[in-house]
Each structure stands twice: as C-alpha cells, then as structure tokens.
Amino acid sequence: MIGFLEGLKITLKTAGRKPVTAEYPEADKRMEVQQRYMGFPALTWDYDVSEPYCTGCMVCIRNCPTQCMSAQMKDNPLHAEDKSRRRKIIDEFEINLGRCILCGICVDVCNFDAIEMSHEHELSKYERDGNRVDLPALLDMGKAYQASTAWKPRQPEKNSGVPKPKPAKKAPSIELAPVSAAALEHRRAAIRARAKERGGSADAETQTTHPTDD
C-alpha cells in the first residue's frame, strides 16, 4: 500500500511538471543552445576597422582533416590607406559544411582569432553540394555568433587591426666624435707641411680649414 502511494505521488508530481522536450522546428518552442555549443565554423569580423580578422594565411586549411576548406588572400586596401595593420586580408573563403566534422581543429590552429565554432547547426539541404558556404555567408554566421556571445578576441593586442600610432619623427642629431690633442696636433702639422710645399702661410690654412679647432 505504501509503495502504491509513493508511486502515485511521483505520477502526480510528474503530471504537473512543464515538458522538457521542445517542439522542433517552431521558433518559439526551440531550446536555446548553450554558450559552449560547437556548431559549424564561422569567420569573425573586426568591428574596429570593418574587415574580417582572417588574413587568408591558410593554416586552418592545411590542418583541416576533411579538406573541406579553401581560401585566397589579397593585399589589404585598408593597409595601403593606413587604416589597418593587416597587410593581407581574405579575398575568398569557402567551407563545404556538408563535409565538416565539427572537430574544431581550424579554430585551435588559427593565430588570428579569425574563426570560431559558431552556434549554427540547422543547415540541412537536399543538394549534395548545398552546404558550400562562401565568405559573406561565413562572416554573417560569425557576426551572429559574436553578437549572441559578446565575443572578444583571445589575443586582442596581437590581433587588433587598429593601426598603432606612429612615433613622432626626431630631428637627426649629429654628434662629432671628440678629437684628442695629439690627433689635432698631428693634423695641424700635416696642414702646415702641405702649405709649406705650396709656399703659402701654414697658420692661415690651419685657421681656414679648422675654424673651430681652437
């Protein structure tokens, strides 16, 4: 009898509980993903200089185990205008997310805080190649991730694109090496000898050549 009542208690308690399941895909009934959730990789955006963090260095591409990424870099026009520290910038980037295994290696090897495992996970397509995403799409995914997680670069000092202030130019200072008395006397003797050979005044030439020696 006691066991029966205990069972009934649990049944009644459970009956009054809110459901823990979500009705996918209804937007307002979906479960929120956790902050630590690792969805598909996305490229981050540097809002300080309005350009991607990615320089197209190819390190992530060489390390991707499924070879699903490709990229091309170009000279950064903002660097030429002194508006960015990045000499090179990404020009084209593509990831075939249909082949990505979400291993996170691309994020681990990137030295520029340029790629993150976003929260994006709903990319089912009917076409075999339907999940090839280009640079604008990857940046949109990255921007959404940055906004939802208040993302900050791990190495802000190193990877900021904001140009460093240039140090003020100093006027070049010319410092003359001190001349020893013996060297000075030796020089004067040479001048006197030369003047004597030419038949002029040794003192006059010494003074003309070295007006500040005395």
Residue ranges in contact with ligand SF4 by CB under 6 A: 41, 54-60, 64-66, 68-69, 71, 95, 100-106, 110, 112, 114-115
Q: Taking the complex as a whole, how short is the minimal distance between the CB of residue 103 and ligand SF4, in angstroms?
A: 4
Helices (H), the chain: 2-15, 59-63, 77-80, 105-109, 135-149, 156-159, 181-198, 202-209
Which burial class, exposed, middle or buried, applies to 115 when counting CB atoms under 10 A from its CB (0-12, 13-18, 19+)?
A: buried
173: which 2 tokens?
């200072």
Q: Taking the complex as a whole, how short is the minimal distance between the CB of residue 85 and ligand SF4, in angstroms?
A: 14
Letter string b/e over residues 123-150, b meaning 16 or more CB atoms within 10 A of that residue's CB: eeeeeeeebbbebebbbbbbbebbeeee
Q: Taking the complex as a whole, how short is the minimal distance between the CB of residue 24 and ligand SF4, in angstroms?
A: 24
Please tell me what DSSP assigns to residue 32.
P
Q: Is 85 helix (H, G, I), strand (E, B) or coil?
A: coil
User: Of 102 and 184, which has the nearer Cβ to ligand SF4?
Assistant: 102
Q: Taking the complex as a whole, how short is the minimal distance between the CB of residue 16 and ligand SF4, in angstroms?
A: 43
Q: How far is C-alpha 89 from the chain's CA centre?
A: 10
User: Of 105 and 202, which has the nearer Cβ to ligand SF4?
Assistant: 105
Q: Taking the complex as a whole, how short is the minimal distance between the CB of residue 111 and ligand SF4, in angstroms?
A: 7
User: Of 61 and 195, which has the nearer Cβ to ligand SF4?
Assistant: 61
